[in-house]
Chain A
Amino acid sequence: MDVKYFGQFLMEHKFITPPQLLDAVQHQRGVNKKIGILAIDKRYINSQQLQLILDSQKFKSKPFGELAVAKKLLTHEQVSELLSTQKVDRILLGEALIECGYLTLGQLEKALNTYKCEQEEAQFFIASSLGAMHPQYSDLVQQSTNIIQNMLLRLVDQRGKVFGCFEKTPKNSHYDYMTYQEIKGEKNCIIGMALNAQTILLIASRILKREVILVNELSLDVIKEFVNIVLGHISSYLSNQGFKTEAMLPHSMKFSEFVPLIKPQTEIVVSILMTEDQFDIYYLFQ
């Protein structure tokens, strides 16, 4: 039993065929316009200016809006407006399939319910398998997974997918920033969180209850707090097990500048990897 994406699930359960999935994804991409295209549609910038921003994005891992404002091609207000439009018009795969006529609303609801049940079972199975492989950490895996999943549900409306390290190789190119925090002492642990800029802005906006459009000290601090809360629970768990540990302070940096910290004495590593549409939680025990 493994964790699947919704499209894969729909094909395997014969709700749709592969060409229908491709067609719906293309329709979804057409509707879910990138912010640069929306800015052109609104005539805030022209195609040359768009290219200028996209070119600078290749060298600086910053969100489009932030670079456009820095280059004085868009104002903060225009970026906020474009982000709101993007959010309102955004459609999910299920909606795209209905709009293409491949699923009815009833079929989608039925598929979603089955998918959710199957995913929860798969998650439980993975967490249990990890726990069975490392019995001394079985409760820790269950508890910290619950905490992370609850926070993800609250902040990005989705659950993450759980993996044992490294069943799947993370694609480092997807991430812009890295935040990590360490527990040192009788047990050594690292909690790391890699994200792209858009996800940082999404989480910061949710927590601060206002639209955040810049990756800055404040938005990165929000991510540090996310890591700090997860680490706090793990640290409390270890304390209850009788281990004396000390929590270090969290650090954030550009992903490109991050040097992996896992040492032979690091017993527990929890990595949370996030992009807008993919949330993975990895555990490594050594």
Chain B
Amino acid sequence: MLAKANLKVLIVDDSITIRELMKQQLKELGVCCFETAETGIEALELFQISNPNLVFLDINMPKMNGVEALSKMMVINPKAYIIILSSLCTKEKVNETMQCGAKNFFMKPIDDKKMEHILLEASQLF
């Protein structure tokens, strides 16, 4: 099991607000190692280079959306631990992303309790 502080987290969201808020939240919860990406394309590059333990992925983004990025990440690493974090929670999107291999789907913003739970689950896998 990996200590929470050693988890490598990738935050993918086109909103700088969400990236900033999630960085703050993760820092407060003891995570020190994270990278951020603004688009699906940037996320894929970082995913290949850094091989993160946990990815928070938005869906509605310019250039490459989250569903496409998710599919490509799962091809690169089928065991990737990817959580979809979106403001849109439609049945189709939940089904589509879960079928593509996402571990879970949450609506933004995510509260500390849920975040703690995700971090614990992810850290137990490594």
- Which A positions have Cβ atoms within 8 angstroms of B? 207-209, 217-218, 221-222, 224-225, 228-229, 231-232, 235-236, 239-240, 244-245, 247, 249
6 residue pairs from A and B, CB less than 8 Å apart: A208-B20, A217-B16, A221-B15, A225-B18, A231-B88, A239-B89
Q: How far is the CA of A222 from the CA of B17 in the complex (A)?
A: 6
Known: A228-B60, A228-B108; 5 extra A-B contacts, CB below 8 A, are A224-B15, A228-B15, A229-B108, A239-B89, A245-B90
A235 → chain B, closest Cβ, in Å? 5
Number of A-B contacts (CB under 8 A): 55
Q: Please tell me if B77 contacts chain A, counting CB pairs below 8 Å.
A: no
* Contacts A207-B21, A249-B60 given; does A244 touch B16 at CB 8 Å: no
Decide if B20 touches A218 in the complex (CB within 8 Å). Answer: yes
A3 to B91, CA, bound (A): 37
Instruction: Answer whether residue B48 sits at the interface, using C-beta atoms and an 8 A cutoff.
Output: no
Which of B16, B18, B62 makes the CB contact (< 8 A) with A249? B62
By the criterion CB–CB under 8 Å, are A247 and B62 in contact?
no
Question: Could you tell me how many residues of chain B have their Cβ less than 8 Å away from some Cβ of chain A?
Answer: 21
The verdict on B36 contacting chain A, using a C-beta distance below 8 Å, is no
* Interface residues of A, dominant DSSP: helix
- Assembly CA distance A225 to B108 (angstroms): 10
What 0/1 readout, one digit per residue, does chain B (10-29) give for beta carbons within 8 Å of chain A?
00001111101100100000
**CB proximity of B20 to chain A, nearest CB, Å:** 6
Given A224-B15, A225-B15, A249-B60, residue A232 in contact with residue B20 (CB < 8 A) = no
The yes or no answer to B86 lying at the interface (CB within 8 A) is: yes
Q: Is the CB of B17 within 8 A of A247?
A: no
Report the bound CA distance from A236 to B105 in whole Å: 13
Shortest A239–chain B CB gap in Å is: 3
Residues of chain A with a CB closer than 8 A to B21's CB: 207-208
Per the bound structure, the CA–CA distance linking A69 and B123 in Å amounts to: 46
Chain B residues near A249 (CB, 8 Å)?
A: 14, 60-62
Q: Cβ of A222: which chain B residues have Cβ within 8 Å of it?
A: 17
* A221 pairs with B87, CB closer than 8 A: no
